[in-house]
């Protein structure tokens, strides 16, 4: 039977994490086999980890990674490698802030065999104009640097075959901040079979976003240098 790992990074999500796990867990439970819901929580200063530990006692397919570093990007890389290392057939990444809709997952899953990667794109965003603008700039840069055209490079709603993902994930340093952007770039550049599907994207359900404008600018400035380096390897 096919196995699915739904993976999500978490940081200070005590007000969201129970609801998010309750929403996504039935999917891995239904698919069964060796499927898992894996949350990477490392560095949280609130009760996120305590909530997860309680949930783990109730949900045998829930797993927690706690040694992945504080930043979002390294957590995502660790989660992808964890899924691959445990023999998952498919990995689906989303975030733990409640902005994505589990009901839209089925449309991705039913096309899993046909595509190497199915990536969500946010035509309407609930997280503000600034972030939407940043995403547009990223897509322009990817087209200029790598010649790839994508509608959304960083949406946290993506289903990938692990056999395809493992061709590229080990090209990224464990501390790299923007793995999802480079993963979609690799998939498109090397002409893997991909599809982009429209998804909804709600405002954050509770808590505060840990990525503010100064951090976005800092990460973006570093990304320019990273893109230049990656361009030489493609």
The reply to whether 136 falls in a domain is no
In a domain, 157, yes or no: yes
The total domain count for the chain is 1
CA separation for the pair 68, 210 (Å, rounded): 16
Task: Classify residue 138: in a domain, yes or no.
Answer: no
Residue 228 lies in a domain: no
**Neighbouring residues of 90: CB distance < 8 A, sequence distance ≥ 6:** 2, 3, 4, 5, 112, 159, 160, 161, 162
Look at residue 148 and tell me if it is in a domain. Answer: no
Task: Read off the pTM.
Answer: 0.92
- Whether 201 maps to a domain, the answer reads yes
The CATH code of the domain that includes 26 is 3.90.550.10
Buried b (16+ CB within 10 A) or exposed e, 49-58: bebbeebbee
Is 215 among the domain residues?
A: no
For the chain, the first-to-last Cα distance in angstroms comes to 35
C-alpha of 71 from chain center: 13
SS (H, E, C) the chain: CCCEEEEEEECCCCCCHHHHHHHHHHHHHHHCCCCEEEEEECCCCCCHHHHHHHHHHHCCCEEEECCCCCCHHHHHHHHHHHHHHCCCCEEEEECCCCCCCHHHHHHHHCCCCCCCEEEEEECCCCCCHHHHHHHHHHHHHHHHHHCCCCCCCCCCEEEEEHHHHCCCHHHCCCCCCCHHHHHHHHHHHCCCCEEEEEECCCCCCCCCCCCCHHHHHHHHHHHHHHHHHHHHHC
Residue 223 domain-assigned (yes or no): no
Domain that holds residue 103: 4-126+153-208
Q: 201 with 127: CB under 8 angstroms?
A: yes
Strand arrangement of the beta sheet that strand 4-10 belongs to: 62-65, 36-41, 4-10, 90-94, 157-161, 117-122, 194-199
Provide the residue-wise pLDDT of the chain in tens; the chain has 234 residues: 899 999 999 999 999 999 999 999 999 999 988 999 999 999 899 999 999 999 999 999 999 999 898 899 999 999 999 999 999 999 999 999 999 999 999 999 999 999 999 999 998 775 667 777 888 888 998 999 899 999 999 999 999 999 999 999 999 999 998 999 999 999 999 999 999 999 998 887 676 655 555 666 666 666 667 776 777 677
**Whole-number Å distance between alpha carbons of 86 and 5:** 9
């Amino acid at each position: 039977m096919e196995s699915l790992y739904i993976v999500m990074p978490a940081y200070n999500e005590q007000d969201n994490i129970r609801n998010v796990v309750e929403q996504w867990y039935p999917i891995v439970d239904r698919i069964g086999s060796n499927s898992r819901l894996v949350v990477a929580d490392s560095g949280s200063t609130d009760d996120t980890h305590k909530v997860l530990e309680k949930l783990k006692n109730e949900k045998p397919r829930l797993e927690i990674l706690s040694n992945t570093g504080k930043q979002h990007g390294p957590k995502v890389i660790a989660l992808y490698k964890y899924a691959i290392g445990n023999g998952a057939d498919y990995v689906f990444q989303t975030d733990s802030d409640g902005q994505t809709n589990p009901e839209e997952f089925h449309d991705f899953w039913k096309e899993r065999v046909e595509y190497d990667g199915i990536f969500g794109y946010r035509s309407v965003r609930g997280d503000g104009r600034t972030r939407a603008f940043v995403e547009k700039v990223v897509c322009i840069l990817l087209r200029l640097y790598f010649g790839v055209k994508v509608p959304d490079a960083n949406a946290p709603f993506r289903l990938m075959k692990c056999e395809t993902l493992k061709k590229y994930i080990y090209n990224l340093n464990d501390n790299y901040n923007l793995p999802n952007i480079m993963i979609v770039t690799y998939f498109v550049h090397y002409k893997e079979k991909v599809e982009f599907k429209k998804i909804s994207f709600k405002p954050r359900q509770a808590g505060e976003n840990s990525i503010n404008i100064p951090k976005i600018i800092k990460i973006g400035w570093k990304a320019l240098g990273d893109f230049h380096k990656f361009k030489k390897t493609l």
